[in-house]
């Protein structure tokens, strides 16, 4: 009886078809998250944070933002909770219950680069543990004075999901959906202490580029100003943001919410770059160099509004 030889597979054709399926799937992901032709289907994202834990933020800023459905992040100096002029536990709990994020701003707000290993660990690690012992979900850290070196970043990145630095108001800083190795990761927030034209321009630029931007401030004056020399108020800022949200051009998220949302749009293993510094189409077209992932419902993350 004649033997039957096994059918030979056309390996080049099989490889080609596999690559075609992968590329087609990648393009669908690319389209579904709104990256094609400039990402016109994906709104920009804005995050607002306040440093130091001043009680005026609870009394004045919190009601303004809450009324408009805007979550924010407060970076708290852990040992100053309950002190005059600062948040108490009840206030922080209420803010967290309403979608706000509680982050760490260290134990004592000192320059971390001046500390030995034990003191550095106390500022970074124990501040998180103290906040979490009070029931707060702590994933973010804001560097006091934006004072960092390689060792400080290493300690922080080993204990937090993401950390924040500060920058002046004059230079626009927007981020595109990328994620880096956490020990290399730094996000800068622009100061909100500037003229309102600059605030609007930066928001509009983020919308045009479909990027994530961050603003920060400290305390709030009685008339809802973040600086007595500024003519505009937080109400003005919140109204402008709400206007863009209602138009479908902008999303408001907490710091950790925006970070997680962008991280899960697309995973990239390289520097966190802006729109002008990356060719996303090349990245998607090469599925072996980077992994694309789409999560259809960003609202799974806390502190996210559409």
pLDDT of 186 reads 77
The mean pLDDT of 277-296, rounded to a whole number, is: 29
pLDDT of 131 > 60? The answer is: yes
pLDDT tens figures, 50-67: 999 999 999 999 999 999
pLDDT in tens, 156-186: 999 999 999 999 988 899 887 654 344 456 7
Q: How many Å apart are CA 142 and CA 13, to the nearest integer?
A: 53
- Tell me whether residue 119 is in a domain: yes
CA dist., res. 296 & res. 298, Å (int): 6
With respect to residue 122, please indicate whether it lies within any of the assigned structural domains.
Answer: yes
Task: Please report whether residue 12 resides in a domain.
Answer: no
DSSP SS3 for 266: strand
Number of domains into which the chain is organized: 1
In a domain? residue 231: yes
Domain with 82, as residue range(s), is: 42-305
Q: Please check whether residue 268 lies inside any domain of the structure.
A: yes
Cα separation, 114 vs 213, in Å, equals 30
Q: Which residues is 163 bridged to in the sheet?
A: 141
Provide the 3-class DSSP secondary structure of residue 286.
Answer: coil
- Is residue 262 predicted with pLDDT exceeding 90? no
Nearest to 175 by CA among 161, 154, 191, 190: 190
CATH number, position 218: 3.20.20.370
Residue 11 lies in a domain: no
Which has more confidence, 290 or 241? 241
- For residue 30, the model assigns a pLDDT of 44
pTM: 0.77
85 pLDDT above the threshold of 50: yes
CA distances from residue 182 to 114, 147, 194, 263, 301 in whole angstroms, order as listed: 23, 18, 31, 11, 19
> Cβ contacts of residue 262 below 8 Å, gap of 6+?
45, 175, 176, 177, 178, 179, 212
Residue whose token pair is 């999560």: 295
Euclidean distance between CA atoms 240 and 279, whole angstroms:
31
Which residues does 139 contact at the CB level (< 8 Å), separation at least 6? 101, 103, 160, 161, 162, 256
Nearest to 80 by CA among 111, 50, 115, 106: 106
What pLDDT does 263 receive?
A: 76
User: Quick check: is 255 in a domain?
Assistant: yes
């Amino acid at each position: 009886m004649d033997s039957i030889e096994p059918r030979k597979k056309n390996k080049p054709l099989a490889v080609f078809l596999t690559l075609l399926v992968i590329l087609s799937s990648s393009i669908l992901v690319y389209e579904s998250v709104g990256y094609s032709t400039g990402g016109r289907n994906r709104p920009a994202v804005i995050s607002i944070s306040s440093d130091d834990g001043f009680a005026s933020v609870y009394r004045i800023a919190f009601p303004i933002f809450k009324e408009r459905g805007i979550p924010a992040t407060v970076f708290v100096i852990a040992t100053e909770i309950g002190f005059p002029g600062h948040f108490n536990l009840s206030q922080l709990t209420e803010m967290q219950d309403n979608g706000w994020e509680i982050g760490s701003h260290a134990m004592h707000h000192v320059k971390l680069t001046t500390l030995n290993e034990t003191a550095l660990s106390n500022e970074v690690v124990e501040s998180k543990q103290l906040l979490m012992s009070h029931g707060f979900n702590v994933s973010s850290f804001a560097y006091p004075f934006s004072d960092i070196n390689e060792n400080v970043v290493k300690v922080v990145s080993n204990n937090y999901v993401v950390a924040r630095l500060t920058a002046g108001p004059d230079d626009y800083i927007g981020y595109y959906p990328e994620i880096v190795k956490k020990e290399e990761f730094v996000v800068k927030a622009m100061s909100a202490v500037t003229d309102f034209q600059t605030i609007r321009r930066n928001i509009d630029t983020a919308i045009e580029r479909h990027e994530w931007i961050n603003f920060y401030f400290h305390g709030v004056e009685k008339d809802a100003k973040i600086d007595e020399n500024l003519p505009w108020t937080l109400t003005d800022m919140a109204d402008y943001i709400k206007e863009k949200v209602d138009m479908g051009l902008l999303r408001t998220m907490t710091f950790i919410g925006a970070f997680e949302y962008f991280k899960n749009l697309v995973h990239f293993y390289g520097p966190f770059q802006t729109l002008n510094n990356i060719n996303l189409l090349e990245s998607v077209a090469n599925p072996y160099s980077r992994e694309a992932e789409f999560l259809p419902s960003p609202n799974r993350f806390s502190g996210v509004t559409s």
